[in-house]
Structure 1
Amino acid sequence: DVTAISNKIRAVTGKAPRVWVWPYGAADGTSLAVVGEQGYQMALTLEDGLDSLGNLMSSPRFLVASDPDGEHYANAIVATQTEAPLRVLHVDLDNVYDPDPEQQVRNLDKLIQRVVDMGASTVFLQAFADPKGDGLVRSLYFPNRHLPVRADLFNRVTWQLRTRAHVSVFAWMPVLSFALDSKLPRVTRWDPQTGKVAIDPDQYQRLSPFDPKVRQVIGEIYEDLARTSAIDGVLFHDDAVLSDFEDASPLALKAYAANGLPDTIEALRADPAVMQRWTRFKSRYLIDFTHELTAKVRTLRGPQVQTARNIFAEPMLNPGSEAWFAQNLDDFLTSYDWTAPMAMPLMEGQDLKGSNAWLEKLVAIVKARPGALQRTVFELQAKDWRTSAAPDLDGAQMAEWMGVLKRQGVTSFGYYPDNFLENSPDLKTVRPALSNQWNP
């Protein structure tokens, strides 16, 4: 089709067309590759925004109306340049799924109505199944080559959210915690007491990213996600961590040595300067892996797909703790469209009395970096995980925390999880604090 229409234009005008305009502005990565092969140098979407020479194959538009004077034109340009804030509901698809199809439809309708009523702009939607709540992904909610499909549900819910609730949907995906073939190597920990190497039972059970086969298989899962789902972005889960005793698998040790580092955990930890280099290597290595996964998604879904990644609060508050997580705030801010701190004070050992001050401190760390607040979406906690019962937090407390964030200049925030089946947190209490829309 691209060849035929290009030849017709060339025959009539004597010129080869160079600019492609997407029908309805809906870009697609596979089609974009075909267009590029046919010599097109620019592709236009219908998104509002100003163009960039670095992104000509996903060019937005700026509509000029009513013959504005210079002042109004300049104001319109500034408004277009301003990044739209995210107001996020982080949703477990496990709560939509039900073996009874009729009940599942009712659950989905409740979710759609909840998102509309809450006035959210974005949903971080679980694309994997985790009914046990242990973080190990044994099945997925989309067709794929490597894991069972609990239900082909993710794309259906995504499409309903986008077309009925008119929100953006990010696929919330693990990076390493997949229960794949037992022959694939896992992240292992070196025990300084015994010198033995084993999987850490207190951590996420993760595949080792240093193994090429692991990277290939996880990449294929992300390709299958992109092939089957119309998503606006990907949220990388907080399972992409490596402690200061990990990864001790053979291929990991080989990678360290190939990059000028010692090939044993004991030697890596013996010298503070060497350990710092090792920490930075692991942090960047995990980021590079998420970039590989992003590229696979964008190749199929298009360059407009955004990225976000969860970061623990501790490496933000205490930069030295990067060694315990292989996460670095400055790296995240330059590597992803959105950095998503887990702004969860109770989970970090704070009590309610000190939680507001703790949030203020967390925001101050981001504010100290010019422009960082505009690329950061803070995720509050809606459950108290200090006990196994994990009760829902009161809506008034959630609204109070949102007020703290806004008073510190935060524009993008949300919370996890949203219990849409039981109206928790309470809609009428939280909506005025969360929504960026007019409040009825």
Structure 2
Amino acid sequence: MLKPMLKLIFALMVVVSGSVVANELPNICSRDQNVNEFTILSYHEIAAKGETLDSTYTVTPEHFNEQIRWFIDNGYHFVSVDDILRYRKNSKLLPDKAVLLTFDDGYQSVYANAYPVLKKYKIPTVIALVGGWLKSKEKVDFDGHMIDRSKFLSQKEIKEMVASGLVEIASHSYLAHKGILGNPQGNKQPAVRTRQWFPDKQVCEDETCYEQRVHDDLLENSNFLKQYTGQKPRVMVWPYGYYNTKVTKIANKLGMPIGLTLDDGSNTKITPLSRLRRILVEGKMTLPDLKLNMLVRNANFTDDARTTKAAHIDLDYIYDPDPNQQEKNLGGLLDRIKKLGINTVYLQAFADPDANGAADYVYFPNRNIPMRANLFNRVSWQIATRTQVKRIYAWMPVIAWELPKNSPAAKDLVVTLQVDPTHLNMGYPRLSPFSPKAQKVIKEIYEDLAKSVYIDGIIFHDDVTLSDFEDDSKAARLQYKKWGLSQSVAKIRADKKQFAKWTRLKTEYLDDFAMELAQIVRNEQPGLKTARNLYAQVALSDNAEEWYAQSLKDSIKKYDYTAIMAMPYMEQASNSTEFYDNIVKRVKEGKCGLERTVMELQSVDWRKNSEAISSSELSQTIRHLYDLGVHHIAYYPDNQYKNIPNADAIREDFTKKPLRMHTIVPSNVTSNK
């Protein structure tokens, strides 16, 4: 039976959307099982239609009144920043269903249309101000448009609201509420997190300059607001919701330990004060929509509830030495993605032109491996801002890197003792995960990826693996000694107890290394999700962990999603239906197995010269998997030039709309030049 809260959400979803299917319901496998302590709402303008600067995020006065009355009538309690701090620091309990109101950007309409309501009901509020806009005397450069200064709060209005004791002033940056050039193709991206691209020098801003720029902006705004409003801000509201670990540390040092984001999810006891989450209240959000958002947050469901409908896309299909042709290719991809109706993209971030299984190039600036083209940032941003896709994962190898010969780690390779013809052997070059030099290079590659692109997740390539004859390198042998094992693969294999221990430790070691890489990226992309490709045999054979150092149970536990390469023709399965059934059966045996597993289907048969799998067969397979209870589906490869798979058919298969939290895309952060 559905739990009471889940029943309520289900009923409300039916009211809001008109129809709901079972696999769209939020899952209850969030990694943060704590309860929601308080909800924060992000408002912008409160203005009538026709009087707004940006209708996307404008709530009419009538709707604002309606929403506030609903909160009051339904037992919600408005709290202040002080209330939250006293709770976090002194354990003074918050009231049930606690809500904090915030207003971004400092529009004059907040004073005219919201402040009277706040005074009437004595509602504490945070107003985030952009110092550079307030300092302007006549015109404000608002998202590239010159707006009359009177559209924003005056000093007198701000001081009046502060004097009421209801309003706390927050920083919203001094001049960083804008987009700056983020790549050679001309995309403007959020200034707080983007390393600026300098076209004249063809380089990105270095880390020292980046940190100094952000520091100076936040310091200037803090000083300005103290002088202008009489209140020094202790809250930093990140423009457009974008931030990273570095800028939160900068804000904290400047006296702003509280950070407000637009991240998805609840504010539980483990949510840092520097990363508090908010619901963005949009103009089109009806009262039933807001009710749904509140229920979802209170139940601590997040975007994980969205069913995955993913295409695994090769960036090699977009790359072209001719920039004009490359842009045409990208335009074709965007059109295709819209037609496909997918909500998730696994986007290739590396290139392997010699097809030996190891990455020779990447599509982003970095210190260690040649860049084929500075392309990933461009493509991922265009997909995020111009299509319906809600999550973009960077598809990255973990150890399958073919480094330049002059790299200190180039020769630190996995050593295979011998090949066993009875099961799959990797057969491609990989850096030894036990080599400190190799680890350093790989970590730096991931660090550079994180700084140069905007992504929602990482999907690790199928190379997070070592066979039962690997690794016999010098570095690996030293690690085996630390584990209390013999220092050669041959000796370990000769001892059943050692072999079992070795297998388990290798599996854990590889997964832990992948998690370490994810954390490096997460420092820059705090909401990062993790996924990994897993061989189908790992879900089918009891001996698979020995062969691959991969475990289905461990994978489901450690990664947000496990994308099983459910490809019967590649595996030469005699019966495709039984192949899928057996995988799903094993997945269901684990806790949260279905919620955290993606079934990744093959769209071509590589054993028949990449002949396309028919649309009818793909559709039948997807329907069958849904019947088995599978939530998440992906496919590989996608060929936009041959329409493989058929876009119309895939869209039909992926028509069920998933639950989606609201996000904000800044209007001046562009997808085009």
TM-score (ref. length: structure 1): 0.89
How many residues are aligned here?
Answer: 427
User: In the alignment, does 2:491 pair up with 1:267?
Assistant: yes
* Cα pair 1:118 1:435 within 8 Å, conserved: no
* Cα pair 1:379 1:416 within 8 Å, conserved: yes
Task: Name which of structure 1's ranges 207-216 and 39-48 shifts more when overlaid on structure 2.
Answer: 39-48
* Deviation, structure 1 residue 20: 3.0
Deviations 1:388-428 (A, max 9, x none): x2222112211111111111111111100011121111112
Correspondence for 2:265 among 19, 33, 49:
49
User: Against the structure 1 CA distance between its residues 69 and 87, is the aligned structure 2 distance closer, same or farther, given a 3 Å change threshold?
Assistant: closer
- Whole-angstrom CA distance in 1 between matches of 2:546 and 2:365: 36
Residue number in structure 2 paired with 1:407? 627
* Cα pair 2:369 2:404 within 8 Å, conserved: no
SS in 2 for 1:210: coil
Residue number in structure 2 paired with 1:424? 644
User: Against the structure 1 CA distance between its residues 238 and 76, is the aligned structure 2 distance closer, same or farther, given a 3 Å change threshold?
Assistant: closer
* Deviation, structure 1 residue 296: 1.6
User: In the alignment, does 2:563 pair up with 1:340?
Assistant: yes
Task: Name which of structure 1's ranges 95-104 and 206-215 shifts more when overlaid on structure 2.
Answer: 95-104
User: Against the structure 1 CA distance between its residues 202 and 413, is the aligned structure 2 distance closer, same or farther, given a 3 Å change threshold?
Assistant: closer
* Cα pair 1:119 1:436 within 8 Å, conserved: no
* Deviation, structure 1 residue 9: 6.5
SS in 2 for 1:386: helix
Residue type at the aligned position of 1:281: L
Give the greater-gyration-radius structure (CA): 2
SS in 2 for 1:372: coil
Residue number in structure 2 paired with 1:386? 607
Residue number in structure 2 paired with 1:188? 415
User: In the alignment, does 2:189 pair up with 1:2?
Assistant: no
Task: Name which of structure 1's ranges 339-348 and 265-274 shifts more when overlaid on structure 2.
Answer: 265-274
Unpaired segments of 5 or more residues in structure 1? 194-199
Task: Name which of structure 1's ranges 281-290 and 182-191 shifts more when overlaid on structure 2.
Answer: 182-191
* Deviation, structure 1 residue 37: 4.0
Residue number in structure 2 paired with 1:58? 275
User: Against the structure 1 CA distance between its residues 293 and 192, is the aligned structure 2 distance closer, same or farther, given a 3 Å change threshold?
Assistant: closer
* Cα pair 1:190 1:265 within 8 Å, conserved: yes
* Cα pair 2:456 2:525 within 8 Å, conserved: no
Deviations 1:1-36 (A, max 9, x none): 33444566678777872x432212123333233234
* Deviation, structure 1 residue 129: 1.1
* Cα pair 1:402 1:434 within 8 Å, conserved: no
Residue type at the aligned position of 2:504: R
Correspondence for 2:311 among 86, 89, 94:
89
User: Against the structure 1 CA distance between its residues 58 and 372, is the aligned structure 2 distance closer, same or farther, given a 3 Å change threshold?
Assistant: farther
Task: Name which of structure 1's ranges 50-59 and 76-85 shifts more when overlaid on structure 2.
Answer: 76-85
- Whole-angstrom CA distance in 1 between matches of 2:528 and 2:552: 22
- Whole-angstrom CA distance in 2 between matches of 1:281 and 1:162: 39
SS in 2 for 1:263: coil
Deviations 1:164-205 (A, max 9, x none): 014221110111111114443100012399xxxxxx995221
- Whole-angstrom CA distance in 2 between matches of 1:97 and 1:251: 37
* Deviation, structure 1 residue 373: 1.4
Residue number in structure 2 paired with 1:359? 580
* Deviation, structure 1 residue 209: 0.9
Task: Name which of structure 1's ranges 144-153 and 182-191 shifts more when overlaid on structure 2.
Answer: 182-191
* Deviation, structure 1 residue 284: 0.9
Q: Pairwise CA RMSD of aligned residues?
A: 2.8
User: Against the structure 1 CA distance between its residues 144 and 425, is the aligned structure 2 distance closer, same or farther, given a 3 Å change threshold?
Assistant: same
User: In the alignment, does 2:249 pair up with 1:33?
Assistant: yes
Percent identity among equivalent residues? 39
Correspondence for 1:225 among 449, 470, 486:
449
For residues 45-124 of structure 1, the aligned pairs below 5 Å read 45-56=261-272, 57-62=274-279, 66=287, 74=295, 77-78=298-299, 80-81=301-302, 83-124=305-346
Task: Name which of structure 1's ranges 48-57 and 157-166 shifts more when overlaid on structure 2.
Answer: 48-57
Deviations 1:59-101 (A, max 9, x none): 3334797499999965784595561111101000111112232
* Deviation, structure 1 residue 139: 1.2
User: In the alignment, does 2:393 pair up with 1:173?
Assistant: no
* Cα pair 1:89 1:120 within 8 Å, conserved: yes
Greater helix fraction, Structure 1 or Structure 2: 1
- Whole-angstrom CA distance in 1 between matches of 2:628 and 2:559: 23
Task: Name which of structure 1's ranges 265-274 and 54-63 shifts more when overlaid on structure 2.
Answer: 54-63
Residue number in structure 2 paired with 1:196? none
For residues 195-206 of structure 1, the aligned pairs below 5 Å read 203-206=427-430
- Whole-angstrom CA distance in 1 between matches of 2:254 and 2:461: 37
- Whole-angstrom CA distance in 2 between matches of 1:39 and 1:309: 39
Residue type at the aligned position of 2:535: F
